[in-house]
A and B are shown apart, each in its own frame.
Chain A
Amino acid sequence: MAQPFRLPSGGRVDRATPIRFTFDGRTIEGFAGDTVASALLANGVHLVGRSFKYHRPRGILTHGSDEPSALLQVDRGPGKIDPNNRATVVEARNGLATTSLNRWPSLGFDVGAVNDLLSPVFVAGFYYKTFMWPRSFWDKVYEPVIRAAAGLGVAPQVPDADAYANRHAHCDVLVVGGGPAGLAAALAAAKTGKRVILADEQPEFGGSLLHETGASIDGQSAEAWRAAAIEELDGYESVTLLPRTTAFGYYNHNHVALTERVTDHRESPAKGAPRERLWQVRAAEVVLATGAHERPLVFADNDRPGVMLAESVRVFINRYGVAPGRRIVFVTSGASAYAAAADAKAAGLEVVMVDLRPERDCASEAADLRLMGVEVLTGQTVIGTKGRKRVAGLVVAPCANGTVGARRVIACDCVGMSGGWTPAVHLFSQSRGKLAYDEGRDAFLPGVSAQAERSAGAAAGVYDLASCLATGFAAGAEAAGATETRAFAASPTRIGFTPVRDLPTDADPAKVRAFVDFQNDVTAKDLKLAMREGFESIEHVKRYTTTGMATDQGKTSNMNALGIVSKALNRPLPAIGTTTFRPPYTPVTFGALVGPARDALFDPIRATPIHEWAAEHGAAFENVALWRRAWYFAKPGEDMHAAVVRECRAVREGVGLFDASTLGKIEVVGPDAAEFMNRMYVNPWTKLGVGRCRYGLMLKEDGYILDDGVVARMAEDRFHVTTTTGGAPRVMNHMEDYLQTEWPDLDVFLTSTTEQWAVIAVQGPKARDVIAPLVSGIDLSNEAFPHMSVREGAICGAPCRLFRVSFTGDLGYEINVPADYGRAVWEAVFAAGEPYGITPYGTETMHVLRAEKGYIIVGQETDGTVTPDDVGLAGMIAKAKKDFVGKRSLARPDVVASGRKQLVGLATETASLVLDEGAQIVADPNQPIPMKMLGHVTSSYFSANCGRSIALALVADGRALMGRTLHVTTPTGFAPATVCDPVFFDAEGGRIHA
C-alpha cells in the first residue's frame, strides 16, 4: 500500500496532486505540498542517512531548516546535483532523485559503522590526537582515508546548469520570519505606507500557524487569520513578499543577505528563470521574527531513527497529514509537547507521555491529557532506546533526587522529545547585538542592539501566541516610525519548561552515547572529556569537540552543549557565555553567491575597436589587466616563435601595424597644466613646445617608478598624456589625488580619454610611405614633422592626433583616431600597406623590439622598488626643478647608497639560449649555498634581428660590471652570460629619425 503512514485526512498537502520521486533508487509517492521528509515518513521510511563520524543510522529529527541528520544528495537533472540538502526543507516534486549520504555500500549495511564499535577511539579531539605524526601522513594517508569514509555528499562533476540572479533592494522595514509575530509586524509596518519586505524560508507564510490547527486569533481560526493577513499584505504596492527566502547573513548598516529559492520546487520552471536569487537588502529598520528551535533531550541512543522533536511530530501530523509512527512516546521537560501529544491522540495514534518533571510541576497539562485517555508518567528519566535502524522502544525509569528506579520499556515506533526552546538569535548575534542570558527562559535573548533592529515573538523568548502577535505588531509599528500597538485575542499556548541537560542514568557511563550535536556526532561524554583535558572556554570546547561546527550551526545542540559544560564546570551558564554566531544561518549554494558573475559575466573583457579584425586575422590574445590584446598573428603552419620572428623582421625591414589602443590616456587641461605636469613627473614641461612630445617618467612619493609614457603638448594649456595599459587607472587616481588634496589651488582638470581614442601604431622604415596617401592636413616630411612631435589633422576623413613616436626604435607613427573610426582606419592603413608587405604584429613582437632597444616596461623592468637611476633614466630628471613627487626620496640614504640593482643587458655564451625571466644571477655558481644573489633577469627573448638571444636584468652595481661573466640559474643548473649595454640594436639610434 502506498503511503501507509499517510493519515486519512488533514494536513495542507494537496491530495488531488500525487507526486513521485526516488530515494536511493526506490520510488516514493507523496502529495504536492510534502517535503521529502514528510513523504518519506508517509511511506514509513525513517532511516535516511548515516552519521558523519560513527556511521550510525540516522533518521529525521526535525521538520525544518534546523535539521542536522537527514541530509540528502538531490539530483534535479544533468548539472543540477546538490549535496547536503535537508530532507525537511526540500519540497517534494516529480522528477527528483534523492540519495542518502555517508553510507557505503548501502544505507542498510554500512561498512563504516565499524567506527561505531570503535567509538572509544573516536573521542573528542580524536583527529588532533591520532593524526599528529609524521606530518607527511596527513596528506598521503590520513586525510584521503578520512575524507572517503566521512564526506558529506559528492562534489558535482559538471558545471552547474542553473542560472542564478542577484538583486540589490532597499526598504524601510525588513521583517525576517513570517510566523505570527512576523506577519503582525509586517501588517503594522505596511499600514504606514512604508516599503516593507517580508521574508520567510518556508513555501507558505504562517510559521507555527501552519500546524497550530486548533488555534484561534481574534475570534477566527488561525488559518483564517493567516489567510486574511497575507491577502492584506499582498494588497499593498509597497510590500514585497518573499516566501522560500532565507535571511542568512546580517552585515554592517542593516545590510542583510537573503537567498530566494525560485524554481527548485517547480517541475517545469519558466524558461530562463533563475534557480535562486540572492537578495542584498539594505533596510532602514529590521524586525527579527525568526522563531525558536526546540531542544532535543540528551539520553543514550537518542539518535535512533524514529526519535524526533515533539513539535516536529505535531507538524508532520497537522501540516502534512503524516503519522511519524503508530505508537508514539513523547518525552518532555516542558508543556509544549502536550499539545503535540493531544494532536497525535486526536489523529488516532497511540500515545504515551513521559514527563521528566515531577507531577507537581506538570499537573495541569498532565490532567488534561489523561482526560483524553493518554497514559502520562511523571518524574521520569530516560535510560535509552531499543531498536537499531528504527526505534522500537523507550527505556524509562522513575527518577527523584538523582536516584534512578526500576526500568520500564515502552514499546513504540516513534519518540517525540522536547527539552524546551531556544530562540533563534543567530541574525541578532550576527548584527553584533549583545545577547543576554534569561534564567527564567533558560535562553540567551537579544539584549542591546548594535544596529537598527528589534526582535519579536519566539526569537525574543515570547512563546505565547497572543503575545507573539502583540510584540510583533508593536515591533513592526515601531520599525516604521509609528507608535500604534494592538492587543490580540488568541487561544492559550502551552508554554514553560524545566531546563534539563544530560538526563540522569544508571547505565555504565563508558557505554552511554547520548548525542548533543547530531550532525558532528558529538556526545555529552565528549564534552565532559574536553573539560577534563582542560578546555574550559566555550570557543575552545567548540573547536576541540566540533560541537556546533556543522552545517546546522548548532541550532539544536547549542544550549544543551552550554548546559552540560556549565554543569560540569559548576559555573553558571551566563559565565560560560555562548559561541559566536556566524553567517550563513543555513547553508547557501555557491551559485547564489556567484550569481550572474560567471562565463562572459565573470569579469568585463575589455577589447579594442580593432579586436574583431585581429581575431579574424588569426591573432592569439593575451590578457593585460582586463584587456585582451593581440599577442601574435600566426600564419597557417607557424608556431608562436616563427610568427614573432617574422613580425620582428617585418618591422625592421618594412613596416608593421600594431594596435596600441589600450594605452591609458589622460587629457590634462588648464592654465596650470604645465605646472601640474612639472609636479607630477620627473621631467621638465614648461619649455616643451606645442606640437612636441616627451617621454614622461612618474614616481610615487617614495621615489620609485610608478609609470611612464609619452606626453604630447596639444596647446599651451592642454596635454595629451599616455600611460601604460595596466597603469591607466592607477595614474589617473594618483594625479587626481594630488590635484584635489595637495594642490586644489591649481587650475587644472583631468579627463580620462583612454577609450576616446583608438591608437594604431605604424612602425618601420616604410611607415611614412604607407600613411602618406591617407593623411590630410599634415606635412609628414622629416623636417616639418620630426621624431617626438604631434600634429592634428585627418586620416581617412576622420579627425586624428598623429604622433611621430616609436617604441620600436624605427621610424614610426601612432595614429590616434576617435574610437568608432578605429577599425575603418586600421583597415585603410592595412590596405595601403599591402604593397609594402605591411605586417600586423602583437604584444610579443612589441616586447622583443623594445627590448632590442633597451626600453623598459614598467612592471617588468620595475617592481615598485626601482628608481630612475636604477634603470638608467636619471637623465630624464629635471635638475632645475625644486620639487616633484618623489624627488625628496631620491636623496634617501638607501636610494643613493651603492650596491643598488641597475639595468644591464645580458648576452648568454650560448647565443640560442633564452634565459628564464625571473632567473637569479650569481657571480660564482660554485659558491656554497645559500648563494649571494646579485639580481635577476627581467626580460628575455630570442631576437631575430640580433641573431641571438637578448636579456635585460637588474644586477647589483651592474653598470660597473660591463664585460664580466655572471651565471644565471636555469632549470638544470647555471648558464654563463656576459654583462653588456642594454641597447642591443642600432646603438647609435639613427633609424628612429629616418
Chain B
Amino acid sequence: MLLIDCPFCGTRPETEFRCGGEAHIARPADPSALDDGAWAEHLFVRSNPRGLHAERWVHAHGCGRWFNAVRDTFTDRFVETYKAGEQPSHPIDDARA
C-alpha cells in the first residue's frame, strides 16, 4: 500500500485516494471548435509513459480535494504532489513525444 502526500492533509495511505488518470489535459474552452480528430485526441489519447507520469488523484476519503502527482510508473514511486492548477517541478516523460 502506497503512501500519498495530499497537499492539504499530508501523508496518507493509498486506500483513502482514487486515481483520475493523466493530469494537465485541460478541457477545451470551446469543444465545438475542435474537429472530430482533435476531440477524439482530447477524449481518448493519453501519454502512458514508462517513467514519470503526471496524474490526477483525489483524496476521496479525506479532504475530498483533487490534486496532481508525479509518479514513476516503473517504480511506483511518488516524486511529488501539488495542488490542482499548479505545475510539476519535475519534467514529465511523454510516450507520445
Contact = CB atoms under 8 A, between A and B. Distances in A.
Interface of A: 251-253, 255, 280, 282, 701-702, 733, 736-737, 740-742, 744, 882-883, 887-889, 891-893
B32 A741 contact: no
A740 B65 contact: yes
Given A252-B2, A741-B84, A736 B43 contact: no
B82 interface: no
A601 B47 CA distance: 41
A558 B58 CA distance: 44
B2 A736 contact: no
Contacts of B30: 882-883
A892 B42 CA distance: 13
Contacts of B18: 733
A892 B31 contact: no
B34 interface: yes
A253 B27 contact: no
Contact of B64 (A736, A742, A892): A736
Nearest to A883: B31
B91 interface: no
5 contacts: A253-B1, A253-B2, A253-B3, A740-B84, A892-B36
A251 B1 contact: yes
B40 to A, nearest CB: 7
A883 B40 contact: no
B9 interface: no
B66 A702 contact: no
A174 to B, nearest CB: 15
B85 interface: yes
A741 B39 contact: no
A888 B40 CA distance: 10
B80 to A, nearest CB: 15
Nearest to A886: B31
A882 B32 CA distance: 8
Given A736-B66, A737-B58, A740-B84, A255 B32 contact: no
B56 interface: yes
A934 B3 CA distance: 49
B76 interface: yes
Nearest to A252: B2
A607 to B, nearest CB: 22
Contacts of B65: 740
In the complex, the 6 A-B pairs of residues with the closest C-beta atoms, listed nearest first: A888-B31, A253-B3, A740-B66, A255-B1, A742-B27, A252-B2
A414 B69 CA distance: 61
B20 interface: yes
Contact of A888 (B20, B34, B56, B85): B34
Nearest to B30: A883
A255 B14 CA distance: 11
Interface of B: 1-3, 13, 18, 20, 26-27, 30-32, 34, 36, 39-40, 43, 56, 58, 60, 64-66, 76, 84-85
Given A252-B76, A740-B66, A883-B30, A892 B39 contact: yes
Nearest to B65: A740
A883 B1 CA distance: 40
Contacts of A889: 39, 43
A251 B76 CA distance: 11
B32 A892 contact: no
Nearest to A740: B66
A733 B60 contact: yes
B58 A733 contact: yes
Nearest to A884: B31
Contact of A887 (B31, B64, B66): B31
Given A251-B1, A282-B3, A701-B43, 6 more contacts: A253-B2, A736-B58, A736-B66, A740-B66, A889-B39, A892-B39
A530 to B, nearest CB: 32
A251 B13 CA distance: 13
A741 B84 CA distance: 6
Nearest to A736: B64
Nearest to A888: B31
Contacts of B56: 741
B1 A741 contact: no
A891 B20 CA distance: 25
Contacts of A702: 43
Given A252-B2, A889-B39, A744 B85 contact: yes
B64 A883 contact: no
A253 B85 CA distance: 27
A451 to B, nearest CB: 10
Contacts of B40: 892
B32 A883 contact: yes
A282 B14 CA distance: 12
A496 B61 CA distance: 54
A737 B84 CA distance: 11
Nearest to B3: A253
A893 B40 CA distance: 11
Q: Which of A253, A282, A701, A702 has the most CB of B within 10 A?
A: A253
A893 B36 CA distance: 8
A864 B13 CA distance: 31
A888 B43 CA distance: 10
B45 to A, nearest CB: 13
Contact of B1 (A252, A740, A893): A252
Contacts of A733: 18, 58, 60
Nearest to A450: B75
Contacts of A891: 32, 36
A741 B65 CA distance: 9
Contacts of A252: 1-3, 76
Contacts of A701: 27, 43
Contacts of A887: 31-32
A737 B66 contact: yes
